[in-house]
Amino acid sequence: MANKVALRKELNLQSTACHELSHALACIHLRLPFIDVRIGRIRHRKLKGKEAAGYVQRPRYAHVKDEANFWRREIVMALAGGAGTWALFFGRDGVEQDEKQVRNIVTHHLRVPKDRVDSFLKPFRKRATKFAQLPYIQSTMEELIPALVEKGKLTAREIRASHQKHKAFEMRSRHFLKSAMTKVAV
């Protein structure tokens, strides 16, 4: 019984880590700044006394140059949490808050009428899903999830380093494969 409880707790931590890291890697992908990622029982002033299972810390924005473009990237980033958990865990935990946030961006910042929100979001959901399924995003996740579960916190620098390493490795492999095939063809 104790083992079952421990296993469930471990799985929860892993899927929370996956969810938050997907947001963080989407930040890198979309050139949106972030500071660090934490999981566990977290208190934050924005949560008004409530506790969150995980959190991506973002800086405050002084101003945004291209507002529409900025909010579009924010939508994909917000949807990436659920897309990432779906891609690796086939679970959809912890998306309610993201969905609320996304709908708020669409109606409030992009001024889309409420009855058009769902069709407006379709291509964004597609983009988030595609992102989460990129092979180097998945291999970066496989490295970072256990690290985040163990430490409870990873800095943007640590996450960027892993992302860079896996992306470079995939690009090199693709290049190698391409040149190997060219040699065979000649």
Interface residues with Zn ion (CB under 5 A) are 81, 98
Q: How far is the CB of 163 from Zn ion (least distance, A)?
A: 18
Q: How far is the CB of 166 from Zn ion (least distance, A)?
A: 22
Q: How far is the CB of 22 from Zn ion (least distance, A)?
A: 8
Indicate the residue among 74 and 98 with the shorter CB distance to Zn ion: 98
Indicate the residue among 36 and 170 with the shorter CB distance to Zn ion: 36
> What is the residue whose two structure tokens read 């470079």?
168
Indicate the residue among 79 and 162 with the shorter CB distance to Zn ion: 79
Question: Taking CB positions, which residue lies at the least distance from Zn ion?
Answer: 81
Give CA torsion, residues 23, 29, 30, 32, to 10 deg: 60
Q: How far is the CB of 3 from Zn ion (least distance, A)?
A: 29
Indicate the residue among 58 and 165 with the shorter CB distance to Zn ion: 58
Q: HSE-up of 155 (CA within 13 Å, CB side)? A: 3
User: Which run of H or E residues covers position 78?
Assistant: helix 67-89
Spatial CA neighbour of 112 closest among 74, 68, 63: 68
**Tally of residues, the chain:** 186
